[in-house]
Structure 1
Amino acid sequence: MNLAKRIQTLSPSPTLAITAKAQELKQAGHDVIGLGVGEPDFNTPEFIIQAAKQAMDDGHTKYTPAGGILELKKAIAAKLAKDNSLTYDPDQIIVTSGAKYALYNLFQVLLSPGDEVIVPAPYWVSYPEQVKLANGEPVIVKGEEANDFKITPEQLKAAITNQTKALILNSPSNPTGMMYNADELAQLGEICLQNNLMIISDEIYEELIYTTDVHVSIAQISPELKESTIIINGVSKSHAMTGWRIGFAAGPKKIIKAMTSLASHATSNPASISQYAALAAYEGGEEEIEEMRSQFSARLDMLYDMIMDVPGMACRKPKGAFYLFPNVEETVRMTGYSSVDEWVKALLEEQRVALVPGSGFGSPENVRLSYATSMEILEEAAKRIKQFVLDHQK
């Protein structure tokens, strides 16, 4: 049996590949440190867990509306008003089975065969693949490291064609942790308005910022940009709820209605119990978010200093998310390896440290390190990485 052409175009996930190899070594009894994970290591706050238990006791174990329960939509609207100064009605919001499905659903309703989506690189690994699954064409525009990996207005203009349908923005970014400021967003937004492009603003790391920089949604810049923007967000990163699978999209009613229709045939609805847990998350618990953010900030400072002490490594200090994205070109050269992927594989085999090669993020000169683990583990990982480099240094 031949598989569908759309599935044959997908690129294998480097994150899953390195995770599988790390698991194989762990099962063989090796002491492996995995820095590839893309989720907080904290458990979901207790008040959210209790809300889920209460939802079950109250009988909220049935189907819900395809786009999510009204109470949660109202809580999301209140969050957007409080945190982002944006006003949305419940029918401009869809609750989804994770922010990843919100993106997948959006591309399915937005793209026709041949439509192009501009994807700034480095990018989250699923953006290009989801565009391809919707029969669209991802157009990769590389953000230069010297510009904190962000694309410029000139680069955006040069990438636009008659087939361009949308631009993806992810701020703070996975994998770089960098952010666009209001002026940068305004310039990019103006070009999108001039060319009638939709803007997909992935803001999933909004709560995890470790500088005085303020998160700005491009939808805040002007009413016109708000009408051209679909915000993607959720509770996975902000509330340590990756396994609960609750995300949302907020945007123009026409698009949200189409997404809701598609969801009704795809997932029926997000898990009912998870929705009530997310409702509790949005209605309280800011101290838990701040505690998690504070610990991430301390880990970043420690790990960044240690990574910068590794021979050949260069790294721009991120402002948000929970990743470092160092350039290891010089390190790879001085240790005698032919590519970053080869270097990462050898590091795992010899020192039992699992990193994700940047090739999967559209940046083959870099590696991604997650600091979503304890200080002790991060310190040991950094020591092993440095020792590996010293052992192989030519």
Structure 2
Amino acid sequence: MLQTIAGFDRIGEENAFAVLARATELAQQGRDIINLGIGQPDFKTPGHIVEAAVKALRDGHHGYTPATGIAPLREAVSADLLKRHGAETDPGNVLIVPGGKVTMFMAILMFGEPGTDILYPDPGFPIYRSMIEFTGARPVPVPIREENDFAFSAEETLSLITGRTRLLILNSPANPTGGVTPRAEIEKLVRGLEHHPQVAVLSDEIYSQMTYDGMEHVSLLTFDSLRDRLILLDGWSKTYAMTGWRLGFAVWPDALIDKARKLAVNAWSCVNAPAQYAALAALTGPQTAVTEMVREFDDRRKVIVAGLNAIDGMSCRTPLGAFYAFPNIKNTGWKSKELASSLLEHAGVATIGGPDFGILGEGYIRLSYANSTGNIQKALGRIGEFLSRKSKS
């Protein structure tokens, strides 16, 4: 009988893909399914980006590239970070990777081992905890609370740091809640971290360009006191509707960039060459499509929040970032995963149960408003009708 090492028995997954698979299966059976489960823009990648990849293929960019990524792209990432955040970054510290998850994998692998703690947001992206457990480190949840508008609390986060803590994972704007942590709270956290120089920080800023109602995204790159232990995660998937291109980037501190490069060499050699030229076009070309997408997400956000708050038993805080709503369903009488499953099977609406994002996710479900306004309105009607027929109160 085959045996694997213990770590593989601990590894989890992202249930959004299981829900996507089931939703696809039901659709293939002829069911009318509205997918508000997967976190994927419903827009096409802007045309000039696609053409850049086609041109790269025609120009003969068919071979390996440096493991860290082509130089013009790393330079463009640095220029973009300077323009958006006012933070100077050496292109030599930039690593181009095949998707944002890769940076999580690498950072957690570097710092996680038995006898250590890694702090992560709960509710939060499920791969954080999955990878922490895989390494044998102890996952320590940082509570993300509804009463705090789903922003993290600097005081509570700092209180969880001990001598065992090796890595702190932060995410703002956040998945699954849409929470955005305000500048004052981030500054308070950074001041507190100055007393814990042994703790590295992974800042997941993949939704950095998706904020609403005048809310400011504050990048941790802008704090000099963290730069020697900060790993920044960002990419193209959400901002440019490029989820299937599998493109991300990370900024690593001097002490870690060569370790990250070696992991890249061992794991994937380099990122798809034509895709890197597409990413270059995305950063250096017109940003009109990004502005238009975010404006459309904002309109949909207002529709979904109003609709959820009109359903008996549900209440929904207004998300200030990303493209997710995380309504409180406790007064419906349903458990989260049971409701999410029933909505898919019996109402034709795919959502994700809150516990798929952590222990504190019970009592919530996640809906992505990266779908058309028409589909969102239709889904809301189905959810309300289903709950009125199947009331468990």
Which TM-score band (shorter chain)? over 0.9
**2:289 paired residue number:** 288
| Residue of structure 2 equivalent to 1:111 | 112
Q: Which residue of 2 aligns with 1:347?
A: 343
Aligned letter for 1:263?
A
Contact 2:170 2:202 in 1 (8 A): yes
Q: Deviations over 1:247-292 (max 9, x none)?
A: 1111312211110111001000011111110011010221110011
Please name the residue that 2:221 is paired with. 219
1:107 Cα deviation from its structure 2 partner: 1.9
**1:203 maps onto 2:188 in alignment:** no
Contact 2:221 2:230 in 1 (8 A): yes
Q: Name 2:321's counterpart in structure 1.
A: 320
Residue type matched to 1:345 in 2? S
SS at match of 1:74: helix
Moved more, 5-14 or 351-360: 5-14
**Stretch moving more, 251-260 or 105-114:** 105-114
The answer (yes or no) to whether the contact 2:337–2:353 under 8 Å persists in 1 is yes
* Contact 1:344/1:355 (8 A) holds in 2: yes
Aligned counterpart, 2:352: 356
How far does residue 48 in structure 1 lie from its aligned partner after superposition? 0.3
Aligned to 1:381: 379
Which range moves more in the overlay, 101-110 or 360-369?
101-110
* 2-structure distance, mates of 1:314, 1:70: 48
Deviation at 1:21, TM superposition (A): 2.4
Superimposed CA distance per residue, residues 120-155 of structure 1 (whole angstroms, 9 cap, x where no aligned partner): 211011111122233322211212210012332332
Unaligned runs of 5+ in 2: none
Structure 1 residue 12: deviation in Å? 4.4
Aligned to 1:166, the other structure's residue is in SS state strand
Question: What TM-score, normalized by structure 1, do the two folds share?
Answer: 0.95
Q: How does 1:103-252 map to 2 (within 5 A)?
A: 103-196=104-197, 197-220=199-222, 222-252=223-253
Contact 2:228-2:254 within 8 A present in 1 as well? no
> Which stretch has the larger CA shift, 182-191 or 287-296?
182-191
Q: Secondary structure at the match of 1:120?
A: strand
Q: Deviations over 1:51-78 (max 9, x none)?
A: 1011111111100000101110000000
Which residue number in structure 1 is paired with residue 15 of structure 2? 14
| CA distance, structure 2, for counterparts of residue 53 and residue 192 of structure 1 | 46
Q: Give the Cα–Cα distance (whole angstroms) in 1 for the partners of residues 22 and 312 of structure 2.
A: 26
Q: Contact between 2:13 and 2:130, CA under 8 Å: does it hold in 1?
A: no
Q: Distance in 1 between matches of 2:96 and 2:191?
A: 29
**CA separation in 1, counterparts of 2:376 and 2:267?**
40
Kept after mapping to 2: 8 A contact 1:209/1:319: yes
In the alignment, residue 354 of structure 1 is paired with which amino acid?
Answer: A
CA distance in 1, matches of 2:147, 2:53: 45
Between the aligned partners of 1:141 and 1:73, the Cα distance in structure 2 is 32
Contact between 2:150 and 2:178, CA under 8 Å: does it hold in 1? no
Asked if the contact 1:131–1:137 (Cα under 8 Å) also holds between the matched residues in 2, the reply is: yes
In 1, are the aligned partners of 2:305 and 2:317 still within 8 Å (CA)? Answer: no
Contact 1:14 1:357 in 2 (8 A): no
Instruction: Name which of structure 1's ranges 112-121 and 177-186 shifts more when overlaid on structure 2.
Output: 112-121
Q: Cα deviations across residues 181-203 of structure 1 (Å, max 9, x unaligned)? A: 22111111122221121111111
Displacement of 1:360 in angstroms is 0.9
User: 1:22: Cα distance to partner?
Assistant: 1.8
From the superposition, tell whether residues 305 and 31 of structure 1 become closer, same or farther in structure 2 (CA, over 3 Å): same
Displacement after TM superposition at 1:23 (Å): 2.3
User: What is the rounded CA distance, in whole Å, between the counterparts of 1:73 and 1:345 in structure 2?
Assistant: 42
| Whole-Å separation in 1 of the counterparts to 2:58 and 2:386 | 53
Assess if the C-alpha contact under 8 Å between 1:192 and 1:198 holds in 2. Answer: no
> Distance in 2 between the 1:239 and 1:194 partners?
38
- Percent identity, aligned pairs only? 36
Tell me the CA shift for residue 116 of structure 1: 1.2
Tell me which residue corresponds to 2:272: 271
Distance (Å, rounded) in 2 between the aligned partners of 1:39 and 1:60: 28
**Stretch deviating more after TM superposition (133-142 or 357-366):** 133-142
Q: 2:364 maps to which residue?
A: 366
Deviates more, 1:2-11 or 1:195-204: 2-11
Q: Which residue type is aligned with residue 389 of structure 2?
A: D
For residues 216 and 339 of structure 2, the distance between their equivalents in structure 1, rounded to whole angstroms, comes to 36
Q: CA deviation at 1:236?
A: 0.6
Match of 2:100 in 1: 99
Are the counterparts in 2 of residues 33 and 352 from structure 1 also a CA contact under 8 Å?
Answer: yes
Shift of 1:29: 1.4
Aligned-residue offset at 1:392: 1.9
For 2:373, the aligned partner's letter is M
How far has the Cα of 1:170 moved from its partner? 0.6
